[in-house]
A and B are shown apart, each in its own frame.
Chain A
Amino acid sequence: MIGKKIILASALLGVLAFGGEQFAMSDSDRAMYAEMLENNPADILVESGNEALAEFCGGDAGLAKFLGVSEDDLPAYIAGFPRYVETLDMVAGLDQVLQALMAQNGHKPFALKSGDMFAMSAYAKSIANEEKINIDVTANEQMKAAYALGDEVFNTKRGGRGLSCMSCHSSAVIGSVLRTQPLPDLGSEANKAGATWPAYRMTKSSLRTLQRRFQGCMNNALLAVIPLGSPEMVALEVYVTDKAKGREIAIPGLKR
């Protein structure tokens, strides 16, 4: 056990040390990251999400029924979110589906920004673990429109510094260093954002969703933060998830 951890830690050291002082991870950070890879602190939160789904939504079976699929087909179906949900007549994130399901079962839905919802939607997405992202952005008019809107929001320069998501996540700058952070390729196997959120964020010591991560970038880059669940936010999730299409889902992710 300990031996394996040491191997992991030195493997990571190899990956992260090339930039020397420039990178923000200290030796102790690296050791912590290695430890967390084995034992993601969010596992327990995902488990509590599982319990909440059972209590408020009828568990996996209740979710499958609401989505109109068999329990066997549920993992592959979840791997296609966000998707157009006919009963809600909107392109919805999993969290919004869970809100509807809670209400249908006579419970007051968790707020989208609540830790309870982060945990429950993390569990719901983890049902699709080991499935490949299969979002279809041309499936219907609604998905086409959501993708187009996501593309637009991603490319719109705004805020106090006149930046867009594209300013830092275009192929032209991927791999460059912003302050001490290498700019990640959102669709690459190493990051595959759409397949690894909800994730545990070490710098925030908490479980966060992809939309919550977007808010973090908006906040840092001085773009006005838009609310979770807004059509624009869901569209961004569609757009960013599509970049990781075909990549294997692994929830909860572990991020810096």
Chain B
Amino acid sequence: MSRLLLLSTTFGLGLAFASDISSAVESPDASKIIAKDLLGPAKVFTMPKGCITDDKDAIARGEFIFQNLNGSKVKGKLPAGLAKTQMVQGKTYAPQDEIPPKQYGNCVACHNIEGAKGAGNIGPDLTSYHDLFIKSGARDNQFVYQKIADARIDNPNTHMTINLTTGLFTEREICDITSYIVSIKN
């Protein structure tokens, strides 16, 4: 109230008008949006049985998730078992509603790998990963799985995306991506 009075004397305007000025300024609260969006604590994940596979379809899905950002950009056919769109959990959709694009990994934004187009270099180059890291024993499948699921276990200050703790992917999808990375590529 005293602020309004001050305003109205400053401008020599009526009180009602001064209150208009304050309410004319958009200043919405964003704290709830941020609070709902926060990343949970770092989480340890163990590979489920049968996670790593040489199944062609699984590796194709893993490769596709690695190379692409989301379903809205995809032209042409997807690997079997992968969708272009995905409903948001807990939301109800009417028939005319648009279903949002399914998010993929966009790993190539930060990592180079065999056949990458426009790869970034924020993360290490994953080319020849099988030969350089798995065969040599420097890494094992579980390490790679955990890295993709929640990279903070290995490196608390990582700049890498968090993929399973956030619920962006399913366990199976993390297995598909891991299978792709550790596979022998030609």
Contacts and interface: CB of A to CB of B under 8 A. Distances in A.
Contacts of B168: 160-161, 222
Nearest to A167: B159
A229 B26 contact: yes
Contacts of B119: 177, 179
B118 A159 contact: no
Select the residue from A103, A111, A112, A162 with max chain B CB neighbours within 10 A: A162
Interface stretch (A127-135, A150-158, A184-192): A150-158
Given A104-B17, A160-B168, A161-B166, 9 more contacts: A87-B21, A88-B22, A96-B26, A157-B38, A158-B39, A160-B103, A161-B162, A224-B34, A226-B30
Interface of A: 22, 24, 87-90, 92, 96, 99-100, 102-104, 109, 111-112, 153, 156-163, 167-168, 170, 172-173, 176-180, 183, 222-224, 226-234
Given A88-B22, A103-B24, A232 B31 contact: yes
Given A156-B38, A230-B27, A178 B120 contact: yes
A14 to B, nearest CB: 22
21 contacts: A22-B118, A87-B21, A88-B25, A90-B27, A102-B24, A103-B20, A103-B21, A112-B26, A156-B34, A159-B39, A161-B166, A162-B39, A162-B163, A163-B161, A167-B159, A180-B120, A223-B37, A226-B30, A226-B34, A230-B30, A231-B27
Contact of B161 (A22, A162, A183, A224): A162
B7 A227 contact: no
A100 B28 CA distance: 15
Interface in B147-186: 159, 161-163, 165-168
The 9 closest A-B pairs by CB, nearest first: A162-B162, A103-B24, A230-B30, A226-B30, A161-B161, A224-B37, A232-B30, A158-B37, A157-B39
Contacts of A167: 159
B113 to A, nearest CB: 13
Main secondary structure of the interface of B (DSSP, over half): loop
Contacts of B10: 87
Interface residues of B, number: 41
Given A100-B21, A104-B13, A179-B108, A233 B120 contact: no
Contact of B27 (A22, A96, A223): A96
B111 to A, nearest CB: 11
A223 to B, nearest CB: 7
B34 A158 contact: yes
Contacts of A92: 25
A79 to B, nearest CB: 21
Nearest to A97: B25
